[in-house]
């Protein structure tokens, strides 16, 4: 009898774990906190192409904010969402508060694409989205520095990653994004 109870509990726990893993098969299963507060569920971008980028205001690659804004401006009407995820994980290059980060981005780069609150993107404390993308895209897909980019298809699947050195306006990034976008009218 005790053996049967343990088996039943093991099946229920195993089923629950499998269901939890199944619930996290696509990017839309994750949520961030918006830089202004409040929930920022990725499900609100369902059907869009996402480029999720961990950012930092005091990094040698901070100029990529301008490139990300240009990419967003160029393709947002065709379904691209650029999502900036400020992180202080690398070199402590994002020490400011959310209000300071938002002001820095708006004043210096005219950023109007969505930004999240500051998050961990690497290591054991990484946001669940980053753990998921690492699982889906492999070990090299984990951010190793600021301005690491993760591309998500309109169906929510992790498609590809681009390391820090890859410009958001590079042929590689644009070539990966364009086939995922809505066709232009005309």
Alpha helices in 23-122 (DSSP H): 64-75, 98-109
Q: CATH code for 27-180?
A: 3.40.30.10
pLDDT in tens, 33-85: 999 999 999 999 999 999 999 999 999 999 999 999 999 999 999 999 999 99
Of 62 and 18, the structure prediction assigns the larger pLDDT to 62
When pLDDT is cut at 50, 70 and 90, the band that residue 186 belongs to is: low
Least confident among 17-21, 51-55, 85-89, 93-97: 17-21
When pLDDT is cut at 50, 70 and 90, the band that residue 184 belongs to is: confident
Predicted pLDDT of residue 21: 33
Report the catalytic residues: 59
Least confident among 28-32, 87-91, 138-142, 157-161: 138-142
Question: Is-contact 68 53, C-beta < 8 A?
Answer: yes
When pLDDT is cut at 50, 70 and 90, the band that residue 182 belongs to is: confident
Q: Which residues contact 154 (CB under 8 A, 6 or more apart)?
A: 46, 47, 48, 49, 79, 180
Can you tell me the distance from the alpha carbon of 71 to that of 119, in angstroms, rounded to the nearest whole number? Answer: 23
What would you report as the CA-atom Rg of the chain, rounded to the nearest whole angstrom?
A: 18
Percentage with pLDDT > 90 across the chain: 83
Averaged pLDDT score across all residues of the chain: 89
């Amino acid at each position: 009898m005790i053996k049967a109870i343990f088996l039943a509990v093991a099946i229920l726990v195993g089923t629950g774990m499998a269901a939890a893993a199944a619930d996290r098969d696509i990017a839309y299963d994750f949520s961030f906190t918006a830089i202004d507060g409040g929930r920022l569920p990725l499900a609100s971008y369902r059907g869009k192409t996402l480029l999720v980028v961990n950012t930092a205001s005091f990094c040698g690659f901070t100029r990529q904010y301008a490139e990300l804004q240009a990419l967003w401006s160029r393709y947002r009407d065709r379904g691209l969402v650029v999502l900036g995820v400020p992180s202080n994980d690398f070199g402590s290059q994002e020490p400011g508060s959310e209000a300071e980060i938002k002001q820095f981005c708006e004043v210096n780069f005219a950023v109007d694409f969505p930004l999240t609150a500051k998050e961990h993107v690497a290591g054991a404390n990484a946001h669940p989205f980053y753990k998921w993308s690492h699982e889906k895209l492999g070990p090299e897909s984990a951010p190793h520095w600021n301005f690491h980019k993760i591309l998500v298809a309109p169906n929510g699947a992790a498609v590809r990653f681009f390391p820090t050195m890859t410009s958001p306006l590079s042929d590689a990034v644009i070539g990966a994004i364009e086939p995922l976008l809505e066709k232009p009218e005309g």
